[in-house]
């Protein structure tokens, strides 16, 4: 029996396997530097960077999906996975429609999405994951510093709390880290995310070139 949420994705169903988007996933715990690497790749012709936050910032609250988001977020509840991916697909379709993203020649760089295995399964209808760059940062203090600096810069003072940061890490370990086991090991590349951002970016770019992901 179909769930009530299935109707949200009816118009999003892929028409053919060839319609799938070539994709790079940036993966890692909060503070590992996914956004920094993603933005660097996104300025290179042939790559389009999309962060999970972009999905929610760009949505139209007057649409059924937008109203559904408000329904959950206003109660402090997580938005269901199918609705999250439907929002993502609406964003992608808009970028394709304006030729900002040209699937025939651009590679999609996703940062922070999929957030769990269920989202990864839904997204498999739309994307072909060519590489997962797993940013590994063993320096906990460095990650806390990065997250606090970003929170202060964006005036999100609550997110600068170390307690909040550690809670986000727990959620990542429980829900997001298992996504790594969903993808084939041959597409996953561990990247040392300790050190200056330019060094990490250089490492990822080198791997992109070596793998002919251009």
Q: In a structure prediction context, what are the per-residue pLDDT tens digits for the chain, which is 214 residues long?
A: 444 444 444 344 444 444 799 999 999 988 889 999 999 999 999 999 999 888 777 788 888 888 888 888 777 677 889 989 999 999 999 999 999 999 999 999 999 999 999 999 999 999 999 999 999 988 888 888 888 888 888 777 777 788 888 888 888 888 899 999 999 999 999 999 998 999 999 999 999 998 888 7
The total domain count for the chain is 1
Q: What is the pLDDT of residue 76?
A: 66
Q: Is residue 184 a part of any domain in this protein?
A: yes
Q: What is the pLDDT of residue 6?
A: 44
Q: Is residue 214 a part of any domain in this protein?
A: no
Q: Beta-strand (E) ranges in the chain?
A: 21-27, 47-51, 107-111, 127-136, 188-192
DSSP 8-state assignment for residue 170: H
Q: Is residue 114 a part of any domain in this protein?
A: yes
pTM higher than 0.85: no
Task: Give exposure, 13-29, as e/b (b: 16+ Cβ within 10 Å).
Answer: eeeeeeebbbbbbbbbb
Q: Is residue 9 a part of any domain in this protein?
A: no
Determine contact, residues 41/204, Cβ cutoff 8 Å.
yes
CATH number of the structural domain spanning residue 115: 3.40.50.300
Q: Is residue 122 a part of any domain in this protein?
A: yes
* Parent domain of 108: 16-204
Backbone angles phi, psi at 189, to 5 degrees: -125, 125
State CA 14 to chain mean position distance: 20
């Amino acid at each position: 029996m179909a769930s009530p949420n299935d109707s949200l994705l009816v118009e999003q169903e892929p028409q053919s396997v060839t319609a799938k988007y070539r994709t790079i996933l940036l993966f890692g715990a909060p503070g590992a530097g996914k956004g920094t690497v993603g933005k660097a790749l996104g300025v290179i012709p042939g790559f389009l960077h999309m962060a999970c936050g972009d999905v929610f910032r760009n949505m139209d609250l007057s649409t059924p999906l937008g109203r559904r988001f408000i329904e959950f977020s206003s109660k402090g509840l997580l938005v269901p996975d199918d609705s999250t991916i439907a929002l993502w697909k609406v964003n992608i379709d808009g970028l394709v429609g304006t030729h900002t993203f040209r699937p025939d020649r651009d590679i999609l760089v996703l940062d922070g999405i999929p957030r769990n295995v269920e989202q990864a399964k839904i997204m498999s209808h739309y994307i072909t994951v060519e590489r997962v760059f797993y940013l590994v940062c063993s320096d906990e203090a460095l990650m806390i510093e990065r997250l606090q600096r970003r929170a202060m810069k964006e005036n999100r003072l609550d997110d600068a709390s170390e307690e909040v940061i550690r809670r986000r890490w727990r959620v990542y370990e429980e829900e997001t880290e298992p996504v790594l086991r969903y993808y084939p090991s041959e597409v996953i590349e561990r990247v040392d995310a300790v050190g200056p951002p330019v060094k990490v970016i250089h490492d990822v770019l080198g791997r992109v070139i070596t793998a002919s992901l251009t």
